[in-house]
């Protein structure tokens, strides 16, 4: 692989995604259920259903969209995952017949879009699919260029008798790109799990939202309604469409 494409992530990550130590979904599920509105919800980059499945169990009627049929198949194998309607497509440019009172995009997935233009397009496409007064919830990490020395870094996550897990990154401050690869070395061979990201600052996302006709209503430091401040490592933005 020499080029990152919307469907690159799923085929490589499908067997290991649920093994990653992601945050428990309960906080996100409670937050989203409280803001569901009166219509359906749509999760962009639904993946293996980490949040969508428990949210559906709460009675929230929702659909999903993802670029990878392979990773959606993982969700299909889980109880409740088979009943969620999922469209395979690009989160930046999609057309669905339904309109939604809540659309959400979690776990830095907006950053998987590789250009600012694609990220703006995502906001615009979301706005077209929102009901008047509908909400777009975006979760992302706070950029921290100080993590990188000489425009790159390597970190050892795990060392065992028969394996080593390493994360290697390069960083381009001019383009806001992080090229990340998780390397698993075992006696039987080497596996690579890439994640190429184009991060954006909260103020940049707010401007993208304004271009699309959305306005920031809330921003939090985590799903427990902790205020966003200078020490926040993540941020959750809630954008509203005029209604």
**pLDDT tens for residues 58-96?**
999 999 999 999 999 999 999 999 999 999 999 999 999
Closest listed residue to residue 19, CA positions, set 182, 186, 140, 179:
182
CATH architecture classification, 9-143+199-241:
3-Layer(aba) Sandwich (3.40)
Overall size of the chain counted in residues: 243
Average pLDDT over residues 138-156: 85
Residue 128 has pLDDT above 60, yes or no: yes
Give one DSSP letter per residue of 70-97, joined into a string: HHHHHHHTSTTGGGSEEEESBTTB---S
pLDDT at 1: 43
**What share of the chain has pLDDT > 70, as a percent?**
98
Going by their DSSP bridges, the two strands 177-186 and 189-198 should be labelled as antiparallel
Distance CA 151, CA 112 (A): 20
pLDDT at 181: 87
Q: Per-residue pLDDT tens for 165-199?
A: 998 888 898 999 999 888 889 988 998 888 899 99
pLDDT at 2: 55
Average pLDDT over residues 219-237: 95
Averaged confidence pLDDT in the chain: 91
pTM across the whole model: 0.91
| The CATH fold of domain 145-196 | N-terminal domain of TfIIb (2.20.25)
Question: Which part of the chain has CATH 2.20.25.570?
Answer: 145-196
Residues in contact with 218: Cβ distance below 8 Å, sequence separation at least 6, in sequence order: 236, 237, 238
pLDDT at 6: 66
Q: Per-residue pLDDT tens for 21-33?
A: 778 899 999 999 9
**What share of the chain has pLDDT > 90, as a percent?**
73
Distance CA 53, CA 215 (A): 28
Residue 8 has pLDDT above 80, yes or no: no
Q: Which helix (H) or strand (E) holds 237?
A: strand 234-241
Question: Which part of the chain has CATH 3.40.50.150?
Answer: 9-143+199-241
């Amino acid at each position: 692989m020499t080029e990152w494409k919307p469907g690159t992530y799923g085929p490589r990550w499908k067997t290991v995604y649920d093994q990653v130590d992601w945050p428990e979904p309960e906080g996100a599920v409670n937050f989203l259920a409280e803001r569901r509105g009166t219509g359906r919800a749509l999760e962009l980059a639904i993946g293996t259903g980490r949040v969508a499945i428990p949210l559906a169990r709460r009675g929230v009627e929702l659909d999903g969209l993802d670029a990878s049929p392979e990773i959606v198949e993982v969700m299909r194998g889980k109880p409740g995952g088979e009943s969620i309607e999922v469209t395979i497509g690009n989160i930046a440019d999609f057309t669905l017949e339904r309109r939604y009172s809540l659309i959400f995009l979690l776990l830095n997935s907006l950053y998987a879009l590789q250009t600012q233009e694609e990220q703006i397009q995502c906001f615009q496409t979301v706005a077209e699919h929102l009901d008047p007064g509908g909400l777009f919830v975006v979760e992302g990490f706070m950029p921290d260029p100080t993590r990188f020395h000489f425009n790159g870094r390597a970190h050892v996550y795990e060392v065992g008798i028969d394996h080593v897990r390493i994360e290697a990154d390069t960083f381009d401050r001019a383009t806001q790109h992080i090229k990340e690869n998780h390397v698993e070395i075992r006696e039987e061979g080497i596996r690579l799990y890439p994640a190429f990201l184009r991060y954006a600052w909260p103020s940049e996302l707010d401007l993208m939202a304004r271009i699309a006709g959305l306005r920031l209503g809330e921003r939090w430091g985590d799903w427990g309604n902790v205020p966003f401040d200078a020490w926040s490592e993540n941020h959750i933005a809630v954008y509203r469409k005029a209604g």
